[in-house]
Structures are given as C-alpha cells and as structure tokens.
Amino acid sequence: MTERSLSRPIAVTLGDPAGIGAEIIVKAFRDAPDLTRGCFVVGDVATLRRAAGVVAGAGVALPVALLSDVQEALHCPPRCVPVWQIDSAALQGEPPPSPPPFGRVSARAGQLAGDCVIWAANAALRGEVAAMVTAPLNKAALSLAGAPYDAFPGHTELLQALAAAHVKTTVAQLPVRMMLANDELRVVLVSIHVSLLQALAAVTFDQVLQTLLITHHALQAVLGHPPRIGVAGLNPHAGEGGLFGREELDVVGPAVLAARAQGVLASDPIAPDTVFMRARAQHGQPGEFDVVLAMYHDQGLIPVKYLGVDKGVNVTLGLPLVRTSPDHGTAFDIAGTGRADAASLIEAIRVARQLCKTRYVAGFGDTAISHK
C-alpha cells in the first residue's frame, strides 16, 4: 500500500486544544505531505487555524479545510489540513467560540478532546476510517469535563470501554495492553495508568499470562514468527531467588510456564536493570528479544523514552481497531510557542499506515508494530 492508496482515511484526533496537539498536527501535514495524504483531523477548525498561524509565523499559514464528508480527505491536496468539525466545538447557528487559551487546564478543553476521541473511535469501529491516531490529551482536563470522561484516566481505558460496548461485551472480556516502541526497543506493559501500589497488586498470574498471550498474538502477525519475549522481573535482580521478593517464583515464573505451554517464546524473569539492554536493537542488528514485557508503567516507559521521545509510538494492543499515538504529553509549557516537535506524531501516522496493511484480528483483535 503506497501513501496514496488508502481506501479509507485515517483520523487524527485534536488532543487537548490548550496543548501542543494542534501544532504538531499542522507540522506533520506540512513536513510529511505524502504520509499525511488521506488523513484528516477530528477537531475544531478555529483551533487548527490558530495552530497554523503559530507554525507559519510571519509566513503563509497552511490552509485548513472544513470537510462535509470524511471521504473528501482522500482527495485533499498535500499540505492542506482537512478537519471534521466536532459539534461540541461550535455553537449551533452561531460563530464557533475562540479556542481555549494555551497552557491552561480546563473542562472545556477536556470536553473537546474527549469528544474528538469518541467520534474517531466510533467511526473506526464502524469501519468508516482505517485507523485513528490520537494527539495528546490532558488527564486533569478530561476529568474536569465530567461524565463520561471523568471515569477514564486516559485514552486507553476510554477506547477499551467504547470497543467493549461496540462488540457487546464487558471491559473485562476485552483486555487491552499498551505497547511503546521505537526503532530500538518494544515494551508491553502489564498495567498502565494506576498508582504504584495498584500496579504491584496487578502483577498476578492471570494478568501476566494474559499480557504474554496478547503480546504473542499481536507481534506474531507482523514478524511472521512467534516473538521472543524478554520478561522483566518485578524485584531488583528479579528477586535473587526469593531473597528480594517471591513474585518471580510464585507469580511471574508460573505464568511464563503456562504461556510456553501455549507456544509463547517467553524468557524466565530477568533482572529489570539488564533485560532492556539485551532486547535493544542497535546498528542494524536485532536484540536478543523482540519485545520486553514490563511489570508496570514506569519500568517499561523510562528505557523507551530515554532512547528518544521523538521516535516513540504508543500502540494499543487488543482493540478491534488500529490506534497509535505519539509518546509524549500535551507540553502546556511550550504550547503556542511554535517549538513543539512533530516527529513522534509523524512516526505514529507511519505506524498506523503500516498497521492498516498488517492488522491482525483474532477474537476481538490485536495490533502490532514492526521496526523499520
């Protein structure tokens, strides 16, 4: 599939309008015209035009076009930003309100960001768009927006709930996992947006086994073979035989054995201070593992982000739709300055395109990412 051969467009959600989302979207359309061909923004025309002005500076801003049908995005010229206007962003029959001010957490911004995600997710679930790429939202603003958004700490949980409702099942029956990846390292997390105490409690036999199986099925699709999974221990030195904790002996190890019985190529628990180095691909050579299973959020994300936030991509595994996002937040401190880097968003769009080709659906669906 070439950059121009999409049969359905890719939806890019606005993110929090007070953050850098609109700016990096405009920069992506400016700097990667072939890659963004066939993409459109789910958001607010006024916010995108403000961002286009920020990006252009004293020059000519990129044109921002209002779509009447999302299929029109497939035929828009390069370096034009097509926008599907979200109803909540404008007053019926009146001029749309000014965009929320840069750098401020607000319920209004959270509402708009959340509405964009819901619209794009439902369009993807109905098959109207090929994939969705989500610009960063602010969790505090999302919570301030109230129901339904205050029930979800972030994109992943909201998308999981929408997908479960679409396929008429429960959230518990539609497990999803977060994978962060760049050209050197892939990491899948057992738990995501919970406190550290809750994350430790989430390291159970069932949770670890489920994560191993989701990772195995997702990555096998694009690799063409079962992925080699390096399993990070929970404790220092992976417990040192029980001296520093027994989770590796009593929980993680048994889950690994159960996964191996189902064809999963998973290692024994490995000291978390070495497993990421062993998995890292460098100088064109693959690492010892194709992916690392991390026991909690920061254990896995710190090494990925250390290697470069500008190339990191978040992929949600287990959804019946393709969803990617950049590996950074809303950056309120630089919003509106023109300094935001669009590299991670551009990479997220590239990966979304790739997943439209290699998408793997089993049961409720898994997605995966391959290195370049």
User: Per-residue pLDDT tens for 211-258?
Assistant: 999 999 988 877 788 999 999 999 999 988 999 999 999 999 999 999
Look up residue 141 and give its two tokens.
């603003």
Q: Residue 52 has what pLDDT?
A: 94
- For tokens 């002996």, name the residue: 249
Q: Residue 362 has what pLDDT?
A: 33
Report the pLDDT averaged over residues 82-99. Answer: 71
Kindly report the average pLDDT of the chain as a whole number: 89
Q: pLDDT band at 284, cuts 50/70/90?
A: confident
Distance from C-alpha of 219 to C-alpha of 177, rounded to nearest angstrom: 13
Q: Residue 192 has what pLDDT?
A: 85
Report the pLDDT averaged over residues 269-297. Answer: 94
Q: Residue 156 has what pLDDT?
A: 87
3-state helix, strand, coil in the chain (%, to 5): 45, 15, 40
> What are the tens digits of pLDDT across the range 310-355?
778 999 998 999 999 998 899 999 999 999 999 999 999 998 998 8
Report the pLDDT averaged over residues 99-110. Answer: 95
Distance from C-alpha of 188 to C-alpha of 346, rounded to nearest angstrom: 21
Cβ(13)–Cβ(42) below 8 Å:
yes
Q: pLDDT band at 84, cuts 50/70/90?
A: very high
On the CB side of 211, how many CA atoms lie within 13 Å of its CA?
Answer: 30
How far CA 7 is from CA of 16, 111, 130, in Å, comes to: 29, 31, 8
Distance from C-alpha of 243 to C-alpha of 33, rounded to nearest angstrom: 56
Q: Residue 91 has what pLDDT?
A: 42
Q: Residue 221 has what pLDDT?
A: 77
pTM: 0.86
How far CA 285 is from CA of 220, 237, 289, in Å, comes to: 19, 26, 11
Nearest to 211 by CA among 181, 177, 179, 185: 177
> What are the tens digits of pLDDT across the range 45-76?
999 999 999 998 756 678 999 999 999 999 99
Share of the chain above pLDDT 70, in %: 91
Architecture of domain 1-169+322-333: 3-Layer(aba) Sandwich (3.40)
Q: pLDDT band at 359, cuts 50/70/90?
A: low
> What are the tens digits of pLDDT across the range 136-191?
999 999 999 999 999 988 888 899 999 999 999 999 999 999 999 888 999 999 99
Q: Residue 47 has what pLDDT?
A: 96
Q: pLDDT band at 287, cuts 50/70/90?
A: very high
Q: Residue 89 has what pLDDT?
A: 47
Q: Would you call 307 helix, strand, or coil by DSSP?
A: coil
